[in-house]
């Protein structure tokens, strides 16, 4: 059933990819060379050939269809712009696997940047139960979440309180304002400054 679902997703992604028979018969090395020269049709063929390969790798990391499609798009955007860095040393599939892994790490880091991982241990437990997280990815996730919580702990108290209530407890601006005897405007201002401070403290983990 899982394999069937994966094929359905791939068919949806393949729907808008149209390549000629000659292109489909092209040798892989020549195809990659043409992609490196900027040939768009060759790139379409590369995407067609490697869609299932990439989606299988992504599915090991996360089984959510929406996230899978987002990662798929990000992987091939990176391939389009970075394929010139592939020098033919080792297989292209190995190089592509590294791109997938790096995009997953970027996704996790950006997840931290957007949401500060309210419940990192719960998310890790879900990932591990589904068998989606490898040991390396689990360690990466734990390291990022540990750094986030340490950074929040080190904020000045008046910033720490609002970021904990907003990011960790999920409370609204109005509720935070009432609990801390502030206006909604003051809450927004403190959250903005707190996030800027966290971004600076965690800049080594954040990906723009």
**In whole numbers, what is the pLDDT of the chain averaged over residues?**
76
Q: Which pLDDT belongs to residue 137?
A: 58
pLDDT tens readout for residues 85-102: 999 888 999 999 999 988
Confidence of residue 73 (pLDDT cuts 50, 70, 90): confident
- Cβ neighbours for 183, distance < 8 A, ≥ 6 positions apart: 177
- The CATH number given to 2-115 is 1.10.1740.10
Q: How sure is the predictor about 132, in pLDDT bands with cuts at 50, 70 and 90?
A: low
More confident residue, 81 or 171: 81
Q: Where is pLDDT greater, at 123 or 1?
A: 123
pLDDT digit string, tens, across residues 58-69 = 887 776 777 788
Alpha helices in the chain (DSSP H): 2-14, 21-25, 28-36, 40-61, 65-82, 92-115, 120-129, 135-153, 157-163, 173-180, 184-201
Please determine, for residue 202, whether its predicted confidence score (pLDDT) is greater than 70: yes
Per-residue pLDDT band at 4 (split at 50, 70, 90): very low
Please, are residues 182 and 176 in contact by the beta-carbon 8 Å criterion?
yes
pLDDT for 142 equals: 66
pLDDT tens across 161-188, in order?
888 888 767 778 888 889 999 888 888 8
Q: Which fold has domain 135-201?
A: Arc Repressor Mutant, subunit A (1.10.10)
Region 13-18 average pLDDT: 56
What pLDDT is attached to residue 96?
94
Q: Tell me how far CA of residue 63 lies from CA of 33, 34, 67, 71, 115, in angstroms.
A: 33, 33, 8, 11, 20
* Residue 139: both structure tokens together: 């360690």
What number of other Cβ atoms are within 10 A of residue 117's Cβ? Answer: 21
| Domain regions of the chain by residue span | 2-115, 135-201
């Amino acid at each position: 059933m899982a394999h069937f679902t994966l094929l359905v997703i791939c068919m949806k992604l393949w729907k808008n990819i149209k390549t000629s028979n000659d292109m489909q018969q092209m040798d892989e090395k020549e195809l990659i060379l043409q992609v490196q020269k900027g040939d768009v049709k060759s790139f379409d063929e590369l995407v067609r050939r490697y869609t299932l390969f990439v989606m299988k790798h992504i599915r090991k990391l996360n089984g959510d269809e929406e996230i899978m499609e987002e990662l798929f798009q990000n992987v091939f955007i990176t391939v389009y712009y970075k394929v010139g860095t592939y020098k033919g040393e080792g297989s292209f599939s190995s190089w592509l696997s590294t791109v997938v892994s790096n995009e997953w790490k970027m996704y996790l880091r950006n997840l931290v940047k957007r949401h500060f991982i309210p419940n990192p241990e719960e998310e890790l437990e879900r990932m591990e139960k589904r068998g989606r997280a490898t040991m390396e990815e689990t360690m990466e996730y734990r390291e990022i979440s540990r750094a986030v919580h340490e950074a929040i702990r080190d904020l000045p108290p008046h910033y720490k309180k609002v970021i904990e209530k907003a990011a960790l407890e999920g409370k609204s601006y109005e509720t935070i304002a009432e609990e801390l005897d502030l206006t909604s405007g003051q809450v927004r201002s403190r959250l903005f400054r707190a996030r800027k401070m966290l971004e600076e403290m965690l800049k080594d983990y954040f990906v723009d």
